[in-house]
Amino acid sequence: MSIATTRGDGGQTGLAGGIRISKGDLRVEAYGSVDELNSVLGFARSVCTNEEIRTWTEGIQRTLFRLGSALATPPESKKTPPVISPEDVDGLTKLVHQIEATEGILSDWSLPGAHTESAAYEVARTVCRRAERNAVRLASSGVEFKPEILSYLNRLSDVIWLFGRLIEKNAGVDARLRSGETAGPKWSRAWK
């Protein structure tokens, strides 16, 4: 058996449960963005030397496989979609609070690229935001899925941003956007 089935040569793909749809469908765009995010996080994890962040990232990647599968499972499928639970979202929220409590963590805007490892997480953060936008478009089109999916993606971009700041702090790197100037308000949300 080969992965080159040729069934997708005409622009169609199979969803969970065997349903065929266009590769240009909003559902495919949404779960495809989650797949891309998972890959970009895999790259970030591969270059990250902080074992704790690597472990957190791997756990997030495993959850993203469930999340992508949930988006790829339409209601008419015979397959039950995996669940992204309130506990999954709460876990990310707790991680946000844990990292925010780190003494000296950057609380202002940051300029990506001051450190290779943090830059990899910045790329992942922007892909996460795109995945979130695509999931919102899917929901806005009338497709129903558990609201925890959007909450998880929203919280995840905060976590990924904080991973970058924690990496920079531990490396002694100053990535403030306004170096030498008055800092902005605590937790500037320019990345949202």
Find where tokens 């300029």 sit.
111
Task: Provide the pLDDT for residue 177.
Answer: 77
Q: Is residue 108 part of a domain?
A: yes
Q: Are 118 and 168 in contact (CB under 8 A)?
A: yes
Q: Report the C-alpha gap between 80 and 62 in whole angstroms.
A: 18
32: nearest Cα among 56, 1, 8: 8
Give me the pLDDT at residue 190, please: 40
Q: Does 94 reside within a domain?
A: yes
Q: How confident is the model at residue 111 (pLDDT cuts 50, 70, 90)?
A: confident
Q: Residue 152 in contact with residue 59, Cβ under 8 Å?
A: no
- Tokens 């990232």 belong to which residue? 57
Report the domain count for the chain: 1
Q: Give the model's confidence band at 57: pLDDT under 50 very low, under 70 low, under 90 confident, else very high.
A: very high
Average pLDDT, the chain: 86
For residues 126 and 13, which has the higher predicted lDDT (pLDDT)? 126
Phi then psi for 176, rounded to 5 degrees? -60, 140
Tokens representing residue 152 in the block: 């998880």
Q: Which one-letter amino acid corresponds to residue 158? A: D
The answer to whether residue 147 sits within a structural domain is: yes
Residue 176: per-residue pLDDT: 79
Domain assignment of residue 188, yes or no: no
Which CATH number characterizes residue 40's domain? 1.20.1200.10
Quick check: is 73 in a domain?
A: yes
The amino acid present at 178, given as its one-letter code, is: R
Q: Is 46 exposed, middle or buried (0-12, 13-18, 19+ CB in 10 A)?
A: exposed
Q: Please tell me the predicted confidence (pLDDT) of residue 28.
A: 84
Mean pLDDT of 100-128: 89
pLDDT at 105: 86
Task: Examine residue 15 and state whether it is found in any structural domain, yes or no.
Answer: no
Distance of CA 145 to the CA centre of its chain: 17
Nearest alpha-carbon partner for 114 in 60, 179, 160, 51: 179
Q: Residues near 160 by Cβ (< 8 Å), separated by ≥ 6?
A: 41, 121, 124, 125, 128
In a domain, 21, yes or no: no
**Could you tell me the residue range of the domain that residue 30 belongs to?**
26-171
Q: Would you say residue 135 lies in a domain?
A: yes
Residue 182 has a pLDDT of 55
pTM summary value: 0.85
